[in-house]
Every structure is written in structure tokens, then in C-alpha cells.
Structure 1
């Protein structure tokens, strides 16, 4: 069975000469349909750059990415963005501060020519637990958790198959993080979504993902299952160091 997402020897390089930075170096992984797959590592490990390369926001300088068995086009075409959407880390920065939530959700529908905007907006707000009362509010009238729910609603409104989640709860208070993670988990099951989740937090990855890839300095260190992570059955020193450094991470 072919994986929904196939990444092979992905490389991303920025700059040239002395200024050259090899942000991602030969990273490979597969993600099955309906799976939540994690990319974990410290800041600068290249994990977020992998997501940006898939989405066309960072230059692929080597390797291939296939979605549903088809190679990605450069630049990405509109059909790609109906299939794949990204949720960014900072809900304060990813939503225009002077646009109502209605306008934030309407824009992708207008870009892609959807005619049933009214129905889709109301459904997207309901899906993320906000409801129609939030539709004409501005971002400054919402909490951080509510803004991130709007960002998730915007990603869902085109009914994609795949969500790329870049540290989706790291900018939120600890008390709100679990709510948003549980929402994402429920949406994945209800809608048959496939996730690639980036996080530096092993507890988040353990909660959300059945499998994960540990990254360091732009390279893959090792791939683990959730059970192996929770049993602390890492084979590489770097992964063991992450486990030690991840305060509060405990196997159930």
C-alpha cells in the first residue's frame, strides 16, 4: 500500500558560499492515510523547514515529495492547497488583526472559487467549538486558544486531506494546550485527516502521534513508535538526551 505522503532524501539549502545553510539534509519518511506523524527535535533541527518545503514556503534543493503517489509541482498549484493546509505556531501572527473572523475564513473560499461560503464558514466554526457568535469578532477580542481555533478552522474550510501542524500549541498557555490538542485529535478521527505534527515537546508528540522522526542539525536521527518512546527505548544518544531534557515527559 502506497503511503499518502512520501518524502525521500529531502534537502533544503539557504544562501550560497560562506552564507550557505543546509537546513535539511537527506530526510526521508512516509505517512499513511489517517495517521498523525511527528517530527521532533530541538530548535534549529530543521523540523519546521520540512513542513515549509512540503508546502512550498521553503526551496527544495534535493529529493522528492509525493502526495497520493504524485510528485509535487513547483510552484504548488491551487489543487495542492485544497489537499494540504498548514497551521502555524503563532495564532497572533497568522491572522490579520484588522480582519473579522468572517473575512479570515471567507478569503480562502473566494480564492478557490467556492460558492457555498455561508455554509462552510458556519460549519468550520462549529467544528472547532466556537459557533456562529464568533463570526464577526476581531482577533483582539479572542483569547490565544480561540485564535488558534480560528486558524484551524481556516485550514479546515477547504476540506483538505492533510494538515501540516507547526508547533500548534507552543504559543498557548499550558491550560489551553491540552484542549487544542484534544480538538485536533478528534478532528483527525472524525474527518479522516492525516497530520504531520512538528514539536519540540515529546509529551505533545506522544499524545498525538503513533510514529515520530527525531531530527538534529537537519538530519534524521531515528524513527520511533509511540510505544518505544514511552518505554524510553531509544537507540541513539541524541534521542536519549531529548528524553532526559523533556521535563514532565513520563510514560503512562
Structure 2
């Protein structure tokens, strides 16, 4: 079976420093694949490299068996879209929600823009009443829902999610995670999800890669986290550090536990 996304010996360097060092992984259609590790491990850089936002110095990235072009063309962006971590920085402050969602359609020459915009807003739980609002008139969770709608509007096959809830209040995180899971199932999407939170990764993902200092430490099934059968000492230390972790818990339960933990 051909992977919908294939990464082979991917290397990313900045001024001679290897931020990503020869990593490999495949993601198959309909899967949710996680990238997990401590801050600075290179998780987000992998997503940026896939999108063409980080300099690839070696290795290949393939979509449906075909190597992606440099620079990325319109055909790539019809298949792959990204939701960034910060909903405050990823939306143009002077563009209305309608313009934010309509612009990708205009760039790609997609007709029936109004119907698509209304459908995208409905899918993320906002509705027509938000169409002509501006980002400063929205809460953080609403902004991230607009960002998700923008990513969905071209009907891609793959969504790259870079810590999509880490900038949100704890009370909103579970709502956005549940929304993403519903969207993945409804559209049969493939996810690549970056997080430092094992509980989120375990709930959302089928398989994952554990990263450290730009390298792949271990590729495991998410079920291995619950059973404690990870092979590396680094992976075990991440499990110990991730309090409240248990596969099968709902995001609302994970977030609730965090809110009731004593603050240091």
C-alpha cells in the first residue's frame, strides 16, 4: 500500500546546524500520525519542511508516491493544508472571516465560493453570523476554528496540525480537539499532529514518532503508550513527565485534570 505521505531521510539545516537529521516515516490514508517530543526537538520544523517553509538540505517528501516540487505548487496546496499554533498570528487582522476563507478559493479558481464559505463555517461550528467579523472580534477558540475552516475549504487530503490547541484556554482545548476528530472522520482526512502532550497524541493518533534533538527516537503504535511497551528510555521518561496520561481518555477529561492540578 502506497503511503499518502512519505518522508525519507529528511534533513533540515540552518546555517550548518541540523534542526532535522535524516528522519523517516510514512503516513497512510485516513491515519492520524503524531510527532511528539520536548520543546526544540524539531516537531514543528518537520511540518514546516513539508509545506516548504523550512530549507530541506537532504531527503525526499512524497505525496501519493510523487516527490513534491520546490517551490510548492497549487496542486500541493490542494492536497495539503496546515493549521498553525497561534490563532492570533495566523489570520490577517484586517481581513474579514469571509475574505480569509474566500481568498484560497480565488487563488485556486474554485467556483461557488459563497456556498463553500458557508459550509466551512458550519462545519467548524460558527455559522453565517461570523462571516463578516474580523479576527479582533473573535475569541481565541473562534479564531482557531476559522483557521481550521480555511484549511478545509480547498478540500485537502492531509491536514498538518502544529500544536493546534496549545495557545487556547484550557476550557476551549477539548472543544477544538473534538472538532478536529469529528472533521477527520467525516472527511476521511489524514492528519499529522504535532504536540508535546502525550495524552493528546494518544487520544488523537494511531501511530507516532518520538523525536529528540532533531532525530527520530522511536516509531510506535499509540497503543504502546498505554501498555508501556515503548522501547527507549527517553520515551519512558516522556510518559512519566506527562501526568494524567492514559490512552482512551477524552480530551475533556485530560483538560479537566490539568485544570485541577496544583500550580507550582
Which bracket does the TM-score occupy, shorter chain normalised? over 0.9
In the alignment, what sits opposite 1:107?
103
Instruction: Spell out, residue by residue over 1:55-78, the C-alpha distance to the aligned partner (whole angstroms, 9 max, x if none).
Output: 000111111111001001001111
In the alignment, what sits opposite 1:117?
113
TM score, norm. by length of structure 1 = 0.97
Q: Is the 8 A contact 2:203 2:247 kept in 1?
A: no
In the alignment, what sits opposite 1:249?
245
Q: CA deviation at 1:247?
A: 2.1
Question: Relative to structure 2, which stretch is displaced further, 181-190 or 239-248?
Answer: 239-248
> Within 5 A, what are the aligned runs for 1:1-252?
1-15=1-15, 20-252=16-248
TM score, norm. by length of structure 2 = 0.92
CA distance in 2 between partners of 1:75 and 1:98 (Å): 28
Which consecutive aligned stretches of 4+ in structure 1 deviate over 2 angstroms post-superposition? none
CA distance in 2 between partners of 1:62 and 1:47 (Å): 17
List alignment gaps of at least 5 residues for structure 1: none
Q: Is the 8 A contact 1:8 1:29 kept in 2?
A: yes
Q: Is the 8 A contact 2:80 2:158 kept in 1?
A: yes
Q: Is the 8 A contact 1:6 1:31 kept in 2?
A: yes
* Corresponding residue SS for 2:2: coil
Q: Is the 8 A contact 1:231 1:251 kept in 2?
A: no
CA distance in 2 between partners of 1:251 and 1:48 (Å): 23
Q: CA deviation at 1:93?
A: 0.5
CA distance in 2 between partners of 1:251 and 1:165 (Å): 20
Q: CA deviation at 1:234?
A: 1.4
- The alignment covers a number of residue pairs equal to 248
Instruction: Spell out, residue by residue over 1:177-222, the C-alpha distance to the aligned partner (whole angstroms, 9 max, x if none).
Output: 1111111111111001000000001011011001100000000000
CA distance in 1 between partners of 2:246 and 2:160 (Å): 26
In the alignment, what sits opposite 2:260?
none
Instruction: Spell out, residue by residue over 1:155-183, the C-alpha distance to the aligned partner (whole angstroms, 9 max, x if none).
Output: 00001000000000111111111111111
Instruction: Spell out, residue by residue over 1:103-155, the C-alpha distance to the aligned partner (whole angstroms, 9 max, x if none).
Output: 11111111111121101100000110111110001111111111100000000
List alignment gaps of at least 5 residues for structure 2: 249-264
Q: CA deviation at 1:251?
A: 4.3
* Corresponding residue SS for 1:7: strand
Q: CA RMSD in A?
A: 0.9
